[in-house]
Amino acid sequence: MMYKVRYFVLIAVVLVTSGAMDRTMLAQDSQPVSGAPASASGQEPSPLNRKLSDKERFQQQKALKEELKGEYKKWLDQDVRWIITDQERKAFLSLSNDEERDNFIEQFWRRRNPNPDSPENTYREEYYRRIAYANDHFAAGKPGWMTDRGHIYIAYGPPDSIDSHPSGGTYERPMDEGGGETSTFPFEDWHYRYLDGIGQNVNLEFVDTCMCGDYHLTIDRSEKDALLHTPNAGLTMYEQMGMAKKSDRFNGGLERLGKGPMGAMNQGKEFDRIELYAKIMAPPPIKFKDLDAYITSHKVLTGPFFPFEVRTDYVKVTSDTVLVPITLQIRNRDITFNTTDGVARGTVNILGRVSTLTGRIAQTFEDTVQVDVPAELLPKTKDNASVYWKALPLRPGRYRIDIVIKDVNNKDHIGTWARGIEVPRYDDDRLSTSSLILADKMELVPSKQIGAGNFVIGNTYIRPRVSASPAIPVTFHRNQNLNFWMQVYNLGINDKNKTNNATIDYLITDVSTNKQVLNSTETSTKINPHSDQVTLAKSLPLASLQPGKYKVTITVNDGITKQQVAESAPFTVE
């Protein structure tokens, strides 16, 4: 029977070749017969649909790389080597002609432009300036951009300070390196006060062990010791006192600093240094990998959307570091609860990521929130909400925040949120303020909790109210207090009496009638007279206000610098 089928198909193919069979019959008779091999259809499989072998795929990739020549290869392998993401590199390599590549490069820089509507791209200009600087200052038998110092400079910008020893020579070790005197190879210590996604007070050490100008990044501070392998030379303090032997340095460990007054501390810091350099070279690990796909590849939601609200605020820490508190609000009615032993528990996994315009991860946070309610009270708490808070230190600039939440008791119940933010720059000569935060709870914290814990900013516990969107006012009830908090920065100081002199006006307006329901004034000298920064924290009972829409406005007039700044926030009373 099988032979007859193949014979029939062969006849059909012959007839088609000779033109004796019309196209309609060919469409009917040339279909594969059930049970026959795929080739029995009489048609060769399309090479576009055929799965490539490993050898063919390798040859295809090799041919594509060979095709990518000239300026495009230089752009990919040199110009943007330190900032292009893996996804962008893969997409660029998949392009088939120069027109597509030119368009990709244009869009690549436009995505990184701080002002996409401007014909000038300040990011691109700064990036190529860093490459030129690296080539001029860090070249060592190879272009400066290829060196470790060039890599770090291009990726992270200039350090805040450099401790340079270009000739090496005599070196008095600090106590955390064992003390004592030795001679060193040329080395440099770069200090960054803050690096996105890595942390504060980051120290990087580069050593030129070849004495050829090629400084490499090291995590072993003993590597700069030129007398490390010279017996009885360059001894540490303990070695000089006979409390340790130099040979003990080579008994294991990341750093060969030897025993010293702070030896135990150094052992613990070895792991910190490994972690630091791992963070520099790779993004942080993801705990909720199932949620990561919704951020990296924008995976499509298949189940019902899990709604939640997000609020972002900005508080100055230093001149180049801003604290960005992110507040999430999730309502009980949207959480799936499982009841065990009379307790209903809902569990939500949270994954958040902050990335720069270049796609580099600046911060990642992940946590689990549990809501426990007595089972008999669960129906009455459906309108209650749980609030999650995460404060992230960031440098001024533009970022993208992506947040994904998952209902653990309902695996298809996923929620996503994404938004671009602009972290403000607080210049030292300009009067400015933090965000104006309206809170449902505000109180001072004990001294041991200052600056630590959820919802704590400085010495104040402040839990922000969150609305569905920035355009929708937050809601309070008449039996609650309206708490508002704001910091003022860079107040002028009188040179004679060393005091500030600012007037602060508080105004609450009924939006519907434009009538003032509260107008109060105080001076900065009554809050913190000798500081250029003051914190405004007020609480107002709402029982006297009728239900409706209102707006609170705080205006600061600096009598010394003659500058003015104002912040306002709407709210609703029910």
Q: How many CB atoms lie within 10 A of CB 562?
A: 9
**Tally of helices (H runs) and strands (E runs) in the chain:** 11, 26
Give the confidence band of 3 by pLDDT, cuts at 50, 70, 90.
very low
pLDDT of residue 97: 82
Please state, in angstroms and as integers, the Cα–Cα distance from residue 317 to each residue in 59, 300, 325, following that order: 54, 38, 12
Q: How many CB atoms lie within 10 A of CB 556?
A: 22
pLDDT greater at residue 277 or residue 440: 440
Q: Which fold has domain 289-426?
A: Immunoglobulin-like (2.60.40)
3-state secondary structure (DSSP) of residue 130 = helix
Task: Tell me the CB-side half-sphere exposure of residue 111, using CA atoms within 13 A.
Answer: 17
Domain boundaries of the chain, sorted by first residue: 2-41, 54-111, 159-281, 289-426, 427-574
The neighbouring-strand residues paired with 21 are: none
Q: How many CB atoms lie within 10 A of CB 219?
A: 15
Token pair, residue 442, equals 């505000």
- Of 79-88, 132-141, 435-444, 499-508, the range with the lowest mean pLDDT is 79-88
pLDDT of residue 13: 35
pTM of the predicted protein model: 0.56
pLDDT of residue 58: 63
Measured between alpha carbons, how far is 112 from 117 in angstroms, rounded to an integer?
12
Q: Is the pLDDT of residue 21 over 80?
A: no
- Of 32-46, 174-188, 248-262, the range with the lowest mean pLDDT is 32-46
Please state, in angstroms and as integers, the Cα–Cα distance from residue 172 to each residue in 177, 235, 262, 328, 513, following that order: 10, 11, 16, 51, 73
- Give me the mean pLDDT over the 550-566 stretch: 95
Q: Is the pLDDT of residue 426 over 70?
A: yes
Please state, in angstroms and as integers, the Cα–Cα distance from residue 127 to each residue in 90, 123, 291, 423, following that order: 22, 6, 32, 20
Looking at mean pLDDT, say which of 163-177, 248-262, 520-534 comes out highest.
Answer: 520-534
pLDDT of residue 117: 57
Q: Which of 301, 219, 287 is nearest to 253 (CA)?
A: 219
- Give me the mean pLDDT over the 122-126 stretch: 84
- Tell me the pLDDT tens digit for each residue of 298-343: 777 888 899 999 999 999 988 788 999 999 999 999 999 999 989 9
Please state, in angstroms and as integers, the Cα–Cα distance from residue 376 to each residue in 134, 339, 371, 372, following that order: 67, 10, 15, 12
387: left (phi over 0), alpha (psi -120 to 50) or beta: beta
The neighbouring-strand residues paired with 405 are: 350, 415
pLDDT greater at residue 544 or residue 18: 544
pLDDT greater at residue 275 or residue 377: 377
pLDDT of residue 523: 94
Measured between alpha carbons, how far is 313 from 298 in angstroms, rounded to an integer?
26
> For the chain, how many residues are written?
574
pLDDT of residue 64: 56
Given a contact cutoff of 8 angstroms between Cβ atoms, the answer to whether 409 and 338 are in contact is yes
Measured between alpha carbons, how far is 224 from 345 in angstroms, rounded to an integer?
56
Given a contact cutoff of 8 angstroms between Cβ atoms, the answer to whether 17 and 42 are in contact is no
pLDDT greater at residue 313 or residue 91: 313
pLDDT greater at residue 546 or residue 23: 546
CA-CA-CA-CA torsion for 466, 472, 477, 483, nearest 10 degrees?
60
- Tell me the pLDDT tens digit for each residue of 240-271: 888 888 887 877 667 777 776 765 555 556 67
pLDDT of residue 527: 92
Give the confidence band of 165 by pLDDT, cuts at 50, 70, 90.
very high
Q: Which of 363, 346, 345 is nearest to 354 (CA)?
A: 363
Q: Is the pLDDT of residue 46 over 60?
A: no
Looking at mean pLDDT, say which of 194-208, 296-310, 431-445 comes out highest.
Answer: 431-445
- Which amino acid is residue 296, in one-letter code? T
Given a contact cutoff of 8 angstroms between Cβ atoms, the answer to whether 358 and 385 are in contact is no
Give the confidence band of 488 by pLDDT, cuts at 50, 70, 90.
very high
Query: Who contacts 330 (Cβ-Cβ below 8 Å, separation ≥6)?
Result: 308, 348, 369, 385, 386, 387, 388, 405
- Of 65-74, 427-436, 472-481, the range with the lowest mean pLDDT is 65-74
Q: What angle do CA 296, 298, 302 make, to 5 degrees?
A: 135
Give the confidence band of 404 by pLDDT, cuts at 50, 70, 90.
very high
Give the confidence band of 59 by pLDDT, cuts at 50, 70, 90.
low
- Of 54-68, 215-229, 450-464, the range with the lowest mean pLDDT is 54-68
Q: Which helix (H) or strand (E) holds 93?
A: helix 86-93
Given a contact cutoff of 8 angstroms between Cβ atoms, the answer to whether 9 and 42 are in contact is yes
- Tell me the pLDDT tens digit for each residue of 466-482: 988 878 899 999 999 99
- Of 47-56, 376-385, 501-510, 559-568, the range with the lowest mean pLDDT is 47-56
- Give me the mean pLDDT over the 406-432 stretch: 91
Q: Which of 444, 483, 440, 435 is nearest to 465 (CA)?
A: 440
Q: What angle do CA 551, 556, 559 make, to 5 degrees?
A: 160
Please state, in angstroms and as integers, the Cα–Cα distance from residue 440 to each residue in 383, 387, 434, following that order: 16, 11, 18
Measured between alpha carbons, how far is 294 from 367 in angstroms, rounded to an integer?
16
Q: For the chain, what is the mean pLDDT?
A: 82
Domain at 427-574: CATH code: 2.60.40.2550
- Of 35-39, 125-129, 271-275, the range with the lowest mean pLDDT is 35-39
- Which amino acid is residue 43, in one-letter code? Q
Q: Is the pLDDT of residue 44 over 70?
A: no
Query: Who contacts 499 (Cβ-Cβ below 8 Å, separation ≥6)?
Result: 493, 525, 529, 530
- Give me the mean pLDDT over the 538-555 stretch: 93
Note whether 289-426 and 427-574 share their fold. yes
